[in-house]
């Protein structure tokens, strides 16, 4: 899993306890996961269907830097399942993992549509236009795709 996204915990991200507000973190995870799903499926019309149990095992304080990692664990017919992990770069502790996040690929009518993907695409693979009626493929560069895993 690559930890591409980093966030700096600011005052507006804190709960009354003075630690990172879970809602802010979940918003970052959902957005990051959606961007990942869009990149992998080549379609901007992708929605969150399910997030599995979330267990906050440690937290972060103002000024801490956290990093988010996302990877695809399963490609279905119309869905993609992702796993997410968030770590605190300062304390080096894991903050949480989300074992299962399901995103569904939609057509222009908002109905689930087959995406035709079966495996993770990495940065050296070209972004392909999807045949989903008038839905335009996102104008993303190959830099937006996942990088090759470290060997
Ligand atoms: C996403 C939505 C169109 C799916 O509708 P649906 O009737 O469940 O569609 P389907 O039954 O055809 O299932 C679509 C896919 O989701 C999967 N899925 C459905 N319910 C699931 C669940 N509870 N857990 C895991 N996967 C699920 C199905 O297995 C299928 O995947 P597959 O084709 O790869 O096998 C519909 O539920 C919806 O619009 N939900 C709201 C989405 C939303 O607003 N999200 C928040 C904002 S992004």
Quick one: CA dihedral 100, 88, 69, 5, positive or negative? positive
Burial of 150 (0-12, 13-18, 19+ CB in 10 A): exposed
Mutational test site, ligand 1, from 33, 43, 44, 49, max ligand atoms within 8 Å of CB: 49
* Residue 102, ligand 1, Cβ within 6 A: yes
Q: Residue 80 CA: which ligand 1 atom is closest?
A: 34
| Share of residues in the chain with pLDDT > 70 (%) | 81
What integer pLDDT is reported at residue 47 of this predicted model?
Answer: 97
What integer pLDDT is reported at residue 115 of this predicted model?
Answer: 97
- Count the residues in the chain: 151
Check pLDDT > 50 for residue 131.
Answer: no
Mean pLDDT over 7-28 rounds to 96
pTM of the model: 0.86
3-class SS at 116?
coil
Q: Please, what are the domains in the chain?
A: 5-127 (3.10.129.10)
Check pLDDT > 70 for residue 25.
Answer: yes
Mutational test site, ligand 1, from 45, 104, 105, 115, max ligand atoms within 8 Å of CB: 104
Per-position b or e across 5-22, b if 16+ CB within 10 A of its CB: bebebeeebbeeeebbbe
Check pLDDT > 60 for residue 117.
Answer: yes
Q: Residue 106 CA: which ligand 1 atom is closest?
A: 3
| Share of residues in the chain with pLDDT > 90 (%) | 76
Mutational test site, ligand 1, from 112, 115, 116, 118, max ligand atoms within 8 Å of CB: 112
- CA 14 / ligand 1 centre spacing (Å): 32
**Residues facing 108 on adjacent strands:** none
């Amino acid at each position: 899993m690559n930890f591409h996204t980093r966030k700096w915990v600011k005052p507006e991200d804190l709960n009354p306890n003075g630690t990172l507000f879970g809602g802010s973190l979940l918003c970052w995870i959902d957005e990051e996961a959606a961007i990942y799903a869009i990149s992998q499926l080549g379609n901007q019309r992708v929605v969150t269907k399910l997030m599995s149990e979330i267990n906050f095992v440690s937290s972060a304080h103002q000024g801490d830097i956290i990093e988010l990692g996302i990877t695809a664990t399963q490609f279905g017919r119309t869905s993609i399942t992702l796993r997410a992990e968030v770590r605190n770069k300062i304390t080096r502790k894991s903050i949480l993992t989300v074992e299962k996040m399901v995103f569904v690929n939609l057509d222009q009518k908002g109905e689930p549509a087959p995406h035709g993907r079966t495996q993770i695409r990495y940065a050296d693979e070209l972004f392909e236009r999807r045949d989903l009626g008038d839905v335009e493929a996102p104008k993303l560069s190959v830099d937006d795709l996942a990088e090759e895993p470290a060997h």
